[in-house]
């Protein structure tokens, strides 16, 4: 099946994908609560005659084709706790929940890919695909520990084990009809940090009789930034952001406790471990310092996703396949981001590539970004995304 034929077949299935995407958009569900979404996927796969099984409670894994080789394609299915303000006529019907990251489109495109592949299999036989194509509809990308880690633990990458995995994410910063790739580290490890700084309450006019956790917190905020400015190789990337701070209730009372939270983003696993240990050690030492009256400070770390690292060989392959499908002029380099993405778990197990699919309407210079209540996408990207997935899988197995 040529790249041109794949794209034409995907365009013929455009309306089916558009309707699927709009149905999912109207009915978003939060991470690990995607019961209606999972049922919708299962119903569509049943209609197509594609066998599947349920994993991780709401995840669905389907298989098309036969043979000794296997390639996996993945889409995430969950939504975000955001009140939609996009104004589209198919807006979310659920209060405070929205597909503001495009996972409804990811799911519709993988269902479109399933339709194209099943039609090929029905017309030419199961062996015509060159192997097994595993379709992974994954829950919980937006919430730690991430649905990918759970599905891997339940065996999604076994029986058969894929030799490669491909996935994609919509990109409102790029025009519809384009795709962007990066070989190597694409996104960061995402660790959440929660501090509790304890002191002793007292009158603001008598600070010497209290232990001030506000002062300790203020110093901690400024000092931990040296983790990036002085402990990280200037040629590597990292971000340390403290995003919340809560303490006290009156202008003349030194509080007992200050709580803070933030995130550490890192591209290097070795530095990540060293940085987290440094934060633990510094927090403990600073909290107990006699300069602040001898209080205490604790840091609780919730580990997030590892860095997303695209395999060099599969990325070169997927990029070439995309160039054959949509043209060299429409395939771009992607600038790595400090975002997090649990597709990273797959690429730490098997070779894989994750790319970005342009979805900005061509007549607009700007559209609201990911995780924005006004997020929209050009639905003409749906057949392109489906074709990219099919093209990568078939050419990999050819």
Where do the H-state alpha helices sit in the chain? 3-12, 14-26, 35-48, 103-124, 147-153, 213-223, 226-229, 269-287, 312-326, 344-347, 381-397
The tens digit of pLDDT for each residue in 72-122 reads 999 999 999 999 999 999 999 999 999 999 999 999 999 999 999 999 999
- Percentage of the chain surpassing pLDDT 70? 100
126 band by pLDDT with thresholds 50, 70 and 90: confident
**pLDDT given at position 18:** 98
What CATH code would you report for 3-186+307-397?
Answer: 3.40.630.10
Average pLDDT, the chain: 97
**H or E element that contains 308:** strand 308-310
pTM of the model: 0.94
pLDDT score for 292? 84
User: What residue spans define the domains of the chain?
Assistant: 3-186+307-397, 189-302
Residue 291 confidence class, pLDDT cut points 50, 70, 90: confident
pLDDT of the residue at 293: 85
Where is 194: in which H helix or E strand? strand 189-198
pLDDT at residue 339, rounded to an integer: 96
Q: State yes or no: pLDDT of 314 exceeds 90.
A: yes
% of the chain surpassing 90 pLDDT: 96
**For range 335-357, the mean pLDDT:** 98
Query: What CATH number has the domain spanning 189-302?
Result: 3.30.70.360
Question: What pLDDT is stored for residue 132 in this prediction?
Answer: 98
> Residue 54 in 3-state DSSP?
strand
pLDDT tens digits, residue range 169-183?
Answer: 999 999 999 999 999
């Amino acid at each position: 099946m040529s790249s041109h034929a794949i794209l034409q077949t995907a365009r013929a299935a455009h309306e089916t994908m558009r309707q699927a995407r709009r149905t999912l958009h109207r009915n978003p569900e939060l991470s690990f609560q995607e019961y209606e979404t999972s049922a919708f996927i299962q119903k569509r796969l049943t209609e197509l005659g594609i066998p599947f099984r349920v994993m991780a409670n709401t995840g669905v894994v389907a298989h098309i084709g036969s043979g000794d080789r296997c390639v996996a394609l993945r889409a995430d299915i969950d939504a975000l706790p955001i009140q939609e303000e996009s104004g589209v006529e198919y807006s979310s019907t659920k209060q405070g929940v929205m597909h503001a990251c495009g996972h409804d489109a990811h799911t519709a495109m993988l269902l479109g890919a399933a339709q194209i592949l099943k039609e090929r299999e029905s017309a030419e036989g199961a062996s015509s695909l060159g192997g097994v194509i595993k379709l992974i509809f994954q829950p919980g990308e937006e919430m730690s520990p991430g649905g990918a880690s759970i599905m891997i633990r339940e065996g999604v990458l076994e029986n058969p084990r894929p030799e490669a995995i491909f996935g994609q994410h919509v990109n409102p910063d790029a025009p519809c009809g384009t795709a962007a790739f990066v070989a190597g580290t694409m996104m960061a490890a995402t660790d959440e940090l929660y501090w509790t700084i304890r002191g002793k309450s007292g009158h603001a006019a008598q600070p010497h009789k209290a232990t001030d956790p506000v002062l300790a917190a203020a110093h901690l905020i400024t000092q931990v930034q040296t983790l990036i400015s002085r402990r990280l190789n200037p040629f590597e990337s990292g971000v340390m952001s403290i995003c919340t701070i809560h303490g006290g209730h009156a202008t003349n009372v030194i509080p007992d406790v200050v709580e803070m939270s933030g995130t550490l983003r890192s591209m290097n696993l070795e530095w990540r471990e060293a940085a987290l240990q440094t934060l633990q050690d510094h927090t403990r030492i600073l909290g107990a310092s006699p300069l602040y009256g001898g209080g205490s400070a604790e840091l609780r770390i919730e580990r997030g996703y590892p860095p997303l690292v695209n395999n060099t060989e599969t990325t070169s392959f997927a990029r070439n396949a995309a160039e054959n499908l949509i043209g060299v002029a429409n395939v771009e380099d992607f600038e790595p981001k400090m975002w997090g993405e649990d597709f990273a778990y797959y690429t730490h197990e098997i070779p894989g590539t994750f790319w970005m699919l342009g979805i900005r309407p061509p007549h607009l210079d700007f559209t609201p970004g990911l995780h924005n209540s006004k997020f929209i996408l050009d639905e003409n990207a749906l057949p392109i995304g489906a074709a990219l997935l099919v093209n990568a899988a078939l050419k990999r197995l050819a």
